[in-house]
Amino acid sequence: MKGTVYILEDDVNISGLVKFSLEREKIRCKCFTTIKDFQNELVNEIPDLALLDIMLPDGSGLDVLKDLKAYYPSVSCIMLSALGQEADKVIGLNLGADDYISKPFGVMELTARVNASLRRKNGNGVIRIGELALDSSTMTVTLGGEKLDLNKKEFELLKYCMQNTEVVLPRDVLLNEIWGYVDSETRTLDNHIARLRKLGISNFETVFGVGYKFRKNG
């Protein structure tokens, strides 16, 4: 799968068509018709990208956008709205939207834009938090300028956590995202985090009974 996309759209015909088109591109999708259901699911899983309608039955997608960028800054956001005037687009983009698509839209164009956003997210950028830097293009991690020796799963785990700083990440979410399974008895996750801590990465905070949080300040 290329990534996970949450679709917040109260018109089930539109969300169903978008979901069908994206899943043909090997993009996993979940659809929501209310802000409440969308926000409740964030506790279980953080998407790579969110497609947000603005006019929703229980609020505004712009408020959802602001909350996502405040608490889940790594989530890419594309607005889908019938409000297509230039001023409407400027408001969305100024609030942090990565893209803005006016309704009615072409499904092929939407799919291309989602693919482009996911490529940028999973591409060759460097993530920096303090003295810690992770480079996806070379799969290298440095701390204070010194290269750290990480295996593939340690690298993937660290990258995911660095993309979701200051967010409580439940154990089952991390196990599913990095290893593709959920097993509450396994010590795999704890052993990998212990190894990263031993290398000097002190940003991991244990949230007892839940999982871990990756702090911006280690």
In tens, the pLDDT along 111-129 reads: 999 988 888 776 556 788 8
CA distance 13 to 15: 6
Domains parsed from the chain with CATH numbers: 4-121 (3.40.50.2300), 126-214 (1.10.10.10)
Nearest alpha-carbon partner for 215 in 138, 147, 162, 177 = 162
The pTM of this model reads 0.61
Torsion of CA 176, 180, 184, 187, to 10 degrees: -110
CA distance 92 to 82: 13
Q: Which residue has the tokens 């999982």?
A: 211
Q: What stretches in the chain show pLDDT beneath 50?
A: none
> Which stretches of the chain are assigned E, i.e. beta strand?
4-8, 28-32, 49-53, 55-56, 59-60, 76-81, 99-102, 126-129, 132-135, 140-143, 146-148, 168-170, 204-207, 211-214
CB 134 within 8 A of CB 161: no
CB 51 within 8 A of CB 27: no
CA distance 155 to 128: 14
CB 8 within 8 A of CB 81: no
DSSP string, 8-37: E-S-HHHHHHHHHHHHHTT-EEEEESSHHH
CB 98 within 8 A of CB 80: no
